[in-house]
Amino acid sequence: MFQVRNDEPQYAFLNDESIKDTNCYGKPIQTVDDASELHGKTLNINLDSAVGENPNRYKQHGFHFTADNCIGCHACEAACSEKNDNPAHIAFRSVGYVEGGTYPDFKRLNISMACNHCDDPVCLKGCPTRAYTKFAEYGAVLQDPDICFGCGYCTWVCPYNAPQLDPVKGQVSKCNMCVDRLEVGLKPACVSACLGNALNFGVIENAPENREQAKLEIPGFPRTDITNPNIRFQQTHDMPNEMTRTDSMAVKYHKNIKSGVFEPVVDKKKGLKRNWNLNKLRSREDPLVIFTLVSQAVIGAFLFMFLGDLAGFEVVQAMVASPVYLPVIFIMLGLEGIALFLSTMHLGKPLRFYRAFNNLKYSPVSREVAGIAVFFNSLGVHFLASLVYSEMGGGLFVQQVAEFFAYIAALSGPVAIYFMHKIYRIEARPFWNHWQVLTAFYGNMLSLGSLITAVFFIPVFIYNGQPVIELVKLLAVTALLGLVVEAIGHYFHAKHLNVKGREGSVSYYEQVTTFGKTNLFRYALLLANILVVSVFVFITELNLLSAVVSIVLVLSVLISSIISRAMFYVMVVPTTMPGAFFWKNKGFEEHARETGLARTVQAGIIADVH
Amino acid sequence: MLFGRNKKNPIKIADKGIVEWKYTTCGYCSTGCSIEVGINDEGQAVSSRGVGSADVNRGKLCIKGIFEHELFKTEGRGKKPLVRNSTIEAYQETEWDTALDGMAEKIKTIQEKHGRDAFAIVSTGQILTEEFYTLGKLTRGAIGTNNYDGNTTLCMASAVSGYKRSFGSDGPPGCYEDFEKTDCLIAFGSNLPEQHPVIYWRLKEAMEKRKFPLIVVDPRVTMLAQFADMHLAINPGTDVVLLNSLAHVIIDENLADMDYIEKNTNGMEEFTAIVEDYDPVSAAKICGIDEDTIRHVARLYAKAGQAMSIWTMGINQSTHGSDGVVGINNLNLITGNIGKEGGTSLSITGQSNAMGTREWSSCSGLPGYRVLENADHRQEIADYWGIDPEFLPKQRGLAQTDIFPAIETGQIKGLWLVATNPMTSMPNTARIRKTLEKLDFLVIQDAYEDVETVQYAHMYLPAAIWAEKDGCFTNTERRVNRVTNVARPYADSKPDLWIFSHLARRFENGKKMQFSDNAEDMFEEMKALSKGEERNLDISGMSYDKIEENRGLQWPCREGDEKGAQRLYSDGKFPHSDGKAKIIPLPFIDNNERPDAEYPFWLNSGRVVEHFHTRTRTGKIGNQNKFSPTPYMEMNPDSAAELGIEHQSYVRCVSRRGDAVVMVQLTQRIPRDMVFIPFHFHDCVNRLTLGLLDPYSRQPAFKQNAVRLELVDQKEAAQRNVEAREY
């Protein structure tokens, strides 16, 4: 058990005199009833089998933050990092600030934030490995780095930036509520260290001594309806109507005069100039750009062949029957294999890849991985069985196996893409949380699927002297459908972002400024591609010109897809906490990496994250 | 609610395996927090925590204290003494005996050739009181140079000088408990949340228990200013005008405590005549605080049952620093707020042991607040040390800020720097570089061999740091607390005490005098020298064990006393010869370097909470340094827009002294005609500062300088910024 000192100051002890029944979300504060089998069990902290005697052990606890009082002295962050032995680049708790007004009528509001041990922990639901547990004890949401494989998905879904992905260790860790201290009746280390009398802790909904509010919002704190966080605030001092952030995020907070609540709006920090910034398209998620595009292309190509064959298009039946079919399937398997390898290596701990299936019940990541795995393996079995059947003269059974797995692949492919899209439908990332993701993914499935089919088969058909116009037309129709679906998605997405406000409109601002020229370029490419593909729909004969145009078209579709997908990853603006000028400021982190400031360990910025 | 996860894995929480907690006192600022350092079974210091039963910090620590155990393994520590004949050669490692022989030889040669005072010594506010005493004994009694000072000239000299002028002696008369008793508090140029966060917490605790008005005088909207009941956004360098005007209103409206003034002070008449000129209407035009506010604050302060003032560098680091302190003392004397519970004039000190050097280092005189100018004091000390009193100078020599110009013009040929880094901390870096180049012999004694000044040195002595040593610190409220041997000195570094006492044996007088490597021996000497009914600085009732038991004892703590006294001058008896305090008239002459057409911005400077002084320590601890890993400059967004300067871009600041490239942080916390740069960073703000000296304290005006801003190529600026510092 944690050692309580003989001279432990009174302020360090938990102090909940009365406890409410339900929290402000209408849920019981008692985590499990007295008869529950979860009662009276040890937390097994560092293999210590003792059971804490805290009388409120089965009550949801949470932080209380008096924003009026925080002086931004970093004592809470320091106490946390000291206790948890965290290196400089990792912090379970961080202090950022918003500020407003005009000198000398100026106000700064510091916000100290760690994990909010939410009622509805999206991290727990999102984590494919089931590294997260919400404990009956204190309602603590704890994460086990030994289970985590470092995909970082929890860092995407959390609206508060609580889980910390360590690029050095390749795993996530986060605030553990200091449950070891709670077990002996002590408040968490950060609370005990607070020098502004701002941070406090106790059973949720309880305002600490000398405090009267336990409200849910302060300027700069993200919305609470996503996860129902267990944090309460007091903030009674009036703030200017507009509070800005010092970090590079183009967000500021504007007071809704009616409700008095501060809402995020775009802060046009970088003006309105359109830029290319092609180098900024690269990110940690580069492997995912490749993985998603390749998977969609491979699934699209297979579906084209499978459904075309099924629907009785002669030209497709000729494809499937041709000796090129199996080599093409083999190449597709190879492409998908490389894509899977890249996405696995993108994990912090690639050797733990098998844990991806652990959370099929809640995690779209688990479901996507399962979907892709079924598709990939079915396609593999289909290939092998077909090979055995055609080359070694296997019997009817082998043929049926091949056919059966073709059906499974054709079914699981689109399902996998559906779950792939679900991964990005994250409330804390409004830019992604739109049906455009689905149109983009299925659109690319059709366009890129047709594209690789065309690349593999049309030259072979021409070489063999087989009639090819019908195939070209069929592929063109499919690609056209894909491109149009993608374009419609973009149109409605941009409109949605522009109107909806909050962090989504900030992404839109990035889209039209930081990547303004790139954005116009990809739209122009997409439109041009649609026009040119439309011409191919009505083509009657192939000549040198159409050959040259088709090569350009293939490249153009490929480039526009890659740019679009890269932009998809780099433009997302999460609903995170405001940072400070250096710490938790993305703009400064980038600058430090570019200039070499990050080369010293004590800068707290990992020099290379790719 | 629990998502069906009934099977639980064991929880892993970092366990540092601490087997023992060792008591010590924090070595950063002078709040004087008691710390326990956690030691694991390998004997490594792995954790720090505030001592719960210590009255000063009551279990709390600031960010610096929380990571203080990491100091023991910071980069850049010195391992062996280094020597070289000239600064164009590379350093060679050597043994201590060789180094100290060489050092003594060099000092003697310089003194023989150019006179005893041609070798100067500048020390610090960072080492232990016993070490200060020993260095003083060595300097005054054995080496015999009169050019000996501490870097406290850069921070607390004005407070010392002001206290001496008003009360007849140094020594802050109040204590932290006064927060709990006061009815009104004015903070002048003191940003507690950033500079003394634990003192801020004590103030906050007091205010939560019993709210009283808090008034903050500061040109920036600091967190303390924002939280204050009234923020007086004063024009830089005009505090004396505000103070005179407050006094004007108090006298004019008959709010002064005439009874107290009559009984305990001198000079009220002359004072009244001078403040006559500082009516709020005239004063408002100079200090920028409107007349109504001046009147309101004056009435509030005078009518409060008990009122107290605190101040830090906003007052001290000014050409009117000493006057500012006297002005605050005046305010408290005319309202009868000295030596009362909750009524005091409390300077919030900077370095962990700035008080120790003031009390015992003999920098500005002789040990225990004795002065060279007093023949009895010289006799007393010479007798106790066993030397000829004629060996001691009869007048104080040069202050730190006068030593450097004397090197520049050749009167001083050799310099010994102890735990101070003038390359970063002194104003006008270019001038300091030029000055250091002129030395025939420069010795650096420091825990870090990467301290910037080493590049100009001929010898480097690796010192042990903080709790690798044994002794005492004195804090802002005159509390003597114990620093104990938590870890053994790094590599072949030695405690400063060892270095002093071993060097002493190499001088003729030194052989006759008592020098010990044992801190407690030296403490006993100090105790003996502190005894005396008329002496406030009496520590004869203290012992190492008793200090630790009480988590620090305040002086005076006379022989037989259970505890020390919390306040000075409660009896109205002051150390001036007539036993009275002086109310001193302060005519204001504006000699600040003010902004003009060519240099349109005030340049202000100050601290950030995560760093200490020149970052030789805090710049190497990631969990502190990451909050400001590179220098920055606060600037008002409106004036930035006029010049086309963007947030988080680099600008070039130019003053009449030089230039600095620094990253801009736009914020409305600062006025349109001012920029603010933290002073911790090498080759930055002090390339720009003039540092005009206070006539009494010789403290430089770091906070009142003029600069202009120029746009620069961003890539080149970024590169220059990276190259400017190693850590």
Instruction: Measure in Å the smallest separation between the Cα of B202 and chain A Cα atoms.
Output: 9
Angle, in degrees to the nearest 10, between helices A286-311 and A325-345? 150
Res A502: pLDDT: 80
Res A158: pLDDT: 97
Angle, in degrees to the nearest 10, between helices A436-464 and A286-311? 60
**Band (A213; pLDDT cuts 50, 70, 90):** very high
Residues of B in contact with A585 (CB under 8 A): 648
Give residues 556 to 585 of A whose Cβ lies within 8 Å of B. 580-583, 585
Which whole number is the average pLDDT over B621-646? 97
The residue in chain A having the minimum alpha-carbon distance to the alpha carbon of residue B224 is A71
Which whole number is the average pLDDT over B80-95? 97
pLDDT of residue A310 exceeding 70? yes
B141 secondary structure, DSSP code? I
Q: Which of B201, B231, B630 sits opposite A195 (nearest CB)?
A: B201
In this complex, do B626 and A603 lie within 8 Å of one another by their Cβ atoms? Answer: yes
**Residue A439 to residue A490: CA distance in whole angstroms:** 9
Res A395: pLDDT: 85
Residues of A in contact with B624 (CB under 8 A): 74, 78
Residue B319 in tokens: 């050409």
In whole numbers, what is the pLDDT of chain B averaged over residues? 96
On whether the CB atoms of residues B628 and B678 are closer than 8 A, the answer is yes
Residues of B in contact with A130 (CB under 8 A): 5
Q: Which of B16, B201, B624 sits opposite A85 (nearest CB)?
A: B16
**Whole-number percent of chain B with pLDDT over 90:** 97
Res B6: pLDDT: 60
pLDDT, tens only, A559-608: 999 999 999 999 999 988 899 999 999 999 999 999 999 988 889 998 87
Q: Which three-class secondary structure string do you get for A88-135? A: CCCCCCEEEEEEEEECCEEEEEEEEECCCCCCCCHHHHHCCCCCEEEC
Among positive and negative, which fits the CA dihedral B311, B317, B322, B323?
negative
**Band (B726; pLDDT cuts 50, 70, 90):** confident
Which whole number is the average pLDDT over A2-20? 96
Closest by CA to A106, choosing from B186, B607, B667, is: B667
**Residue A303 to residue A412: CA distance in whole angstroms:** 11
B566 secondary structure, DSSP code? S
In this complex, do B193 and A85 lie within 8 Å of one another by their Cβ atoms? Answer: no
Which whole number is the average pLDDT over A398-406? 95
Res B4: pLDDT: 58
Q: Which of B208, B628, B669 sits opposite A103 (nearest CB)?
A: B669
Q: How many Cβ atoms are within 10 Å of B118's Cβ, its own excluded?
A: 21
Closest by CA to B301, choosing from B256, B262, B259, is: B256
Lowest mean pLDDT, pick from A517-526, B4-13, B17-26, B368-377: B4-13
Indicate the residue type of B81: P
In whole numbers, what is the pLDDT of chain A averaged over residues? 95
In this complex, do A75 and B8 lie within 8 Å of one another by their Cβ atoms? Answer: no
Q: How many Cβ atoms are within 10 Å of A273's Cβ, its own excluded?
A: 9
**Residue A590 to residue A593: CA distance in whole angstroms:** 5
Cis peptide before A240 (omega within 30 of 0): no
pLDDT of residue B158 exceeding 50? yes
Which whole number is the average pLDDT over B120-126? 97
**Band (A497; pLDDT cuts 50, 70, 90):** confident
Q: Which of B16, B665, B669 sits opposite A108 (nearest CB)?
A: B669
Residues of A in contact with B47 (CB under 8 A): 82
In this complex, do B625 and A107 lie within 8 Å of one another by their Cβ atoms? Answer: no
CA dihedral A548, A549, A550, A553 (to 10 degrees): 130
Residues of A in contact with B62 (CB under 8 A): 73, 75, 78, 195
In this complex, do B623 and A86 lie within 8 Å of one another by their Cβ atoms? Answer: yes
Res B1: pLDDT: 44
Which whole number is the average pLDDT over B639-646? 97
pLDDT, tens only, A179-212: 999 999 999 999 999 999 999 999 999 999 999 9
In this complex, do B627 and A89 lie within 8 Å of one another by their Cβ atoms? Answer: no
On whether the CB atoms of residues A45 and A84 are closer than 8 A, the answer is no
Give me the count of residues in chain A. 610
pLDDT, tens only, B19-72: 999 999 999 999 999 999 999 999 999 999 999 999 999 999 999 999 999 999
Instruction: Measure in Å the smallest separation between the Cα of B139 and chain A Cα atoms.
Output: 38
In this complex, do A600 and B727 lie within 8 Å of one another by their Cβ atoms? Answer: yes
Instruction: Measure in Å the smallest separation between the Cα of B253 and chain A Cα atoms.
Output: 30
Residue B381 in tokens: 């000390």
**Whole-number percent of chain A with pLDDT over 90:** 90
Give residues 285 to 324 of A whose Cβ lies within 8 Å of B. none
Q: Which of A86, A101, A603 sits opposite B668 (nearest CB)?
A: A101
Q: Which of B200, B620, B627 sits opposite A583 (nearest CB)?
A: B627
Lowest mean pLDDT, pick from A106-120, A319-333, A539-553, B398-412: A539-553
Which residue in B604, B627, B639 has the most chain A C-beta atoms within 10 A of its own C-beta, making it the best mutation to test that interface?
B627
The residue in chain A having the minimum alpha-carbon distance to the alpha carbon of residue B69 is A82
Give residues 16 to 55 of A whose Cβ lies within 8 Å of B. 27-28, 31-32, 37-38, 41, 43-47
**Band (B436; pLDDT cuts 50, 70, 90):** very high
Q: Which three-class secondary structure string do you get for B634-695? A: EECHHHHHHHCCCCCCEEEEECCCCEEEEEEEECCCCCCCEEEEECCCCCCHHHCCCCCECC
The residue in chain A having the minimum alpha-carbon distance to the alpha carbon of residue B650 is A591
B340 secondary structure, DSSP code? B
In this complex, do B8 and A81 lie within 8 Å of one another by their Cβ atoms? Answer: no
pLDDT of residue A267 exceeding 90? yes
**ipTM strictly over 0.85?**
yes
Instruction: Measure in Å the smallest separation between the Cα of A441 and chain B Cα atoms.
Output: 31
**Residue B254 to residue B240: CA distance in whole angstroms:** 21
Helix (H, G, I), strand (E, B) or coil at B488: coil
**Residue A520 to residue A516: CA distance in whole angstroms:** 6
A545–chain B Cβ distance below 8 A for any pair: no
Residues of B in contact with A359 (CB under 8 A): none
A252 or B4, higher pLDDT: A252
The residue in chain B having the minimum alpha-carbon distance to the alpha carbon of residue A588 is B648
In this complex, do A604 and B622 lie within 8 Å of one another by their Cβ atoms? Answer: yes
On whether the CB atoms of residues A163 and A579 are closer than 8 A, the answer is no
**Band (B533; pLDDT cuts 50, 70, 90):** confident
pTM of the model: 0.96
Which whole number is the average pLDDT over A117-146? 96
pLDDT, tens only, B400-414: 999 999 999 999 999
Res A607: pLDDT: 82
Q: Which of A73, A100, A602 sits opposite B626 (nearest CB)?
A: A602
How many angstroms separate the Cα of A352 from the Cα of each of A38, A143, A361, B7?
29, 16, 19, 20
A89–chain B Cβ distance below 8 A for any pair: yes
Res B75: pLDDT: 94
**Whole-number percent of chain B with pLDDT over 70:** 99
In this complex, do B647 and A269 lie within 8 Å of one another by their Cβ atoms? Answer: yes
Q: Which of A9, A41, A100 sits opposite B52 (nearest CB)?
A: A9
pLDDT, tens only, A137-175: 999 999 999 999 999 999 999 999 999 999 999 999 999
A69–chain B Cβ distance below 8 A for any pair: yes
Which whole number is the average pLDDT over B233-255? 98
